[in-house]
Amino acid sequence: MANLHIQLHLVALFFLSSLTLPSNCLPALHPKPPVALHPKSPVALIVFGDSLFDPGNNNYIKTTTTFQANFPPYGETYFKSPTGRFTNGRTIPDFIAEFAKLSLISPYLQTGHHEVLTKGVNFASGGAGALVETNKGSVISLHMQFNNFREANKQLRLKVGKRAARRVVKNAVYLISIGSNDYLNPLINNPSMFKSHAPQDFVAMVVGNITSVLKKIHREGGRKIGILTLGPLGCFPRLRLANVAAGGNGECLEQATALVKLHNPLLSQKLQLLQKQLKGFKYSYFDFFTVYTETIQNPPKYGFKEVKSACCGSGPFRGNFSCGGKRGVKEYELCHNPKDYLFFDAEHPSEAANFLSARLMWGGPSNVTGPYNIRSLFMR
């Protein structure tokens, strides 16, 4: 853990120092990409996932404000207006794209599905899960995101030819964040469900669906996967609020943490198995749980002043998902300095927290991201 402490501390200092400069100076502060990033043939970044990664796809589907963030104060720290991202600024894929010297990766539903794969595209949808049933009818599930990717690949082949399209898809880095909603949805809306479903069986079903999509991406030609574990969901402001509602003092909700501790090891096991089974399959596994747990235990060391309450929301810990006043509860509070907060709203990290994760994913130590880091995937 000593290496992790040092890395997190340096990342926090790096980000906080960058906030004192104009935003247009930020890209120059990021580490230069490796020479082996092949400037004549740039590596695309293709993104799947949930609200942690959604850049605004949910702006273009029939849904409710529960699954949207296209209203203030979302986006106001960096973009100066809402984009559909569930944070005050940039997301993890935004930072990864900057590190790789790519443009910000556009929402698939904004760009259409023609040549977008050549530079990268983001299929993520806020509220999505690995299970099709998770928030069904209001989000784009992981399986539907894969179908959209397959259609984009089909259009790419028609445009540039099979050989060129195969090269784009094979060289691309695929970034995935999924699974949180599969557990949060029943925990918040139907906690009794786990009385009739064994947690181990439910977790196996979620991880099985993730594994299934990874195999499909491989069959489509993808080889390099960057994937996040689940974070300490029970310590998110919304779950601390649930703890208070159940008569607690706002501690981390143990039922959620228990599910995460089943999910993450199983996902790791499946990834190791896929690397043995699938030709050319390489992955970067980011330990989101450990990074956030360390930060919650030692906030000042990592540049944060508040790690329990959200910057934006209402109620205890600002744990009501009311940021922006368009989700049923109109009243909400907003902090003055989002960079001091680990969480921007009841469920989502601040831009400062996203930078912390992205920087460690890009080039963090092996006990946080492995067996490859994202930088090395771009080089291969």
Tell which residue, 271, 231, 272, has the closest CA to residue 252.
231
Is 50 one of the catalytic residues? Answer: no
Peptide bond into 22 cis (omega under 30): no
Residue tagged active-site, from 30, 348, 350, 357: 348
For residue 263, indicate whether it is catalytic. no
Contact 222, 211 (CB under 8 A): no
- How many CA atoms within 13 Å lie on the side-chain side of 134? 30
The residue from 50, 314, 345, 357 that is catalytic is 345
By the 10 Å C-beta count (0-12 exposed, 13-18 middle, 19+ buried), 17 is classed as: exposed
Paired strand residues for 286: 228, 369
User: In 25-56, which positions are buried (b, 16+ CB within 10 angstroms) versus exposed (e)?
Assistant: ebeeebeebeeebeeeebbbbbbbbbbbbbbb
Active-site residue, 345 included = yes
Tell me the DSSP string of 247-285. TS-S---HHHHHHHHHHHHHHHHHHHHHHHHSTT-EEEE
Cβ atoms of 152 and 113 closer than 8 Å:
yes
**Given 51, 180, 309, 314, the catalytic residue:** 51
Dihedral of CA 200/201/202/206: which sign?
Answer: positive
Contact residues for 177 (Cβ-Cβ < 8 A; gap 6+): 48, 49, 50, 52, 53, 92, 124, 227, 228
**What residues are labeled active site?**
51, 345, 348
